[in-house]
Amino acid sequence: MESSNDNVVASLNARQIRLMRLASYASVAMALTLITLKVWAWYATDSVALLSSLVDSLLDLVASVITLFAVKVAVSPADREHRFGHGKSEGIAGLAQALIVTGSAGYVGVEAVARLLAPSPVLQPGLGLGVMFASLALTLGLVMFQSFVVRQTGSLAISADAVHYKADILTNVAVLVAIFASVQWQFHILDPLLGLAVVVLILLTVRVIAMNAIDVLLDRELPDNERQRIKDIACSHPRVKGMHDMRTRSSGVARFIQFHLELDAGISLVEAHEICDAVELNVRSQFPGAEVLIHADPFGLAEDRDSF
């Protein structure tokens, strides 16, 4: 006896899809705006820290475009060739973002080392400070909106996009400090030093993005607390005598849950169907839109079971 939800992306209503698309458009627009500002400011100031921020924004644009297409694919419904939907496109997008951002870290690192060997002052610091303050304010606004969208939708692609924009906030602060120190105290070496600090920050960001993407692509189980909630819900039905072999995974915004229910061996097939349907509805009430697949087993039946 099996019960399933045919709509893999049922967890997404029209509002959630609209939010995901709006967040991806906003990310691309933000990257283009910041690149324009930072190209102008870097050309005027010749700051390595600002260059690191510019390169980061250039890579942000590529990553944001990837996110845009990933979201478009992820929210499309299941079809004949993709019965489980297209949610894993978000994991692929996250991994692509991680590789792109790693490349940006290498470039900034080379530039920072070169400037350490030959320190030079920051030119037109007022312009650089103004642009970076504007960048900081714009990035904060975008991250707040992205965080809201992630809470509403659980989108991995938007979450990955938000991670590197959060890193950009710290990058912008580092650039502001570097420019100020160069002007105020003639501490020119701080500019490349903070450029290297940005490299470390970027690499830490990459690790978060890559691990989340790999978890989705390798079908990592849902968190232990969520698995326990599923067990508690299933076993709370008065006619359920036990459960086993629960397997869960996420695919972008979609979640998949399957398990065996142990029922009285003497009940009819119709009764087993009704119990499975009731348990499925209870699980989906706590995990909206999840696809739930239930197999009914006679209680006490000896069979091989998962050891984990």
Same domain, 176 and 294: no
SS3 label, residue 190: helix
SS3 label, residue 293: strand
**Which residues are bridge partners to 242 per DSSP?**
262
CATH of the domain at 253: 3.30.70.1350
Same domain, 51 and 135: yes
Would you place residue 4 in the very low, low, confident or very high pLDDT band (cuts 50, 70, 90)? very low
Tell me which DSSP letter residue 298 carries: E
Same domain, 285 and 211: no
User: Per residue in 228-250, pLDDT tens?
Assistant: 999 999 999 999 999 999 999 88
User: Per residue in 186-216, pLDDT tens?
Assistant: 776 776 787 787 778 778 777 877 887 888 7
User: For residue 300, with 0-12 CB atoms within 10 Å meaning exposed, 13-18 middle and 19 or more buried, which class applies?
Assistant: exposed
| Residues shown for the chain | 308
User: Per residue in 128-149, pLDDT tens?
Assistant: 788 888 888 998 999 999 999 8
DSSP code string of 34-72 = HHHHHHHHHHHH--HHHHHHHHHHHHHHHHHHHHHHHHH
Q: Is 186 left (phi over 0), alpha (psi -120 to 50) or beta?
A: left
- Write down the pTM of the prediction: 0.62
Higher pLDDT among residues 91 and 224, named by residue: 224
Domain assignment of residue 132, given as a range: 12-217
Residue with the two structure tokens 């627009």: 29
Last residue of a domain, one of 170, 193, 217: 217
Q: Which amino acid is at 289?
A: G
SS3 label, residue 3: strand
